[in-house]
Amino acid sequence: MDEMDRMLMRAPDAGAAMNIEKDKMKCTECGWIGTPAMTDKVPDPRPLAKFARDIWHICPACRTPENFRSLCDEPGCEIEMSCGTLTPDGYRNTCHRHAPGPK
């Protein structure tokens, strides 16, 4: 098994020791910052026939549906995520400032 295979088979809690803020997002309407677990969820009001109903995430501050951008997972950073990087500790979603690189 090579290094890439080992990284892809990491434990679900990988990266927890790195103190990262996973799934952080920002409402583009009002600026609220949180995670999907913190949003309100409602079923799609106009579902397509023969398909499972989608669940919409609603901003708890302004009630705007599905209007979020992913943020850098570095603690305290509020810059939009622009880099996705596979690391030995798990997958990182970072901005250009915090992109993991060669050490």
Q: What is the pLDDT along the chain (103 residues), one digit of tens a residue?
A: 444 444 433 344 444 446 889 999 999 999 999 999 999 999 888 877 777 778 899 999 999 999 999 999 999 999 999 999 888 888 899 999 998 876 5
Structure letter (DSSP) for residue 22:
T
DSSP assignment of 31-63 equals --EE-GGGSEEEE-SSPPTTSPPPEEEE-TTT-
CA distances from 73 to 9, 17, 43, 59 (A): 21, 13, 28, 19
Q: How much is the pLDDT for 14?
A: 43
Inter-residue contact 15 to 92 (CB < 8 Å): yes
Inter-residue contact 24 to 72 (CB < 8 Å): yes
What CA dihedral angle connects 11, 19, 3 and 103, to 10 degrees? 180
Among positive and negative, which fits the CA dihedral 93, 21, 9, 68? negative
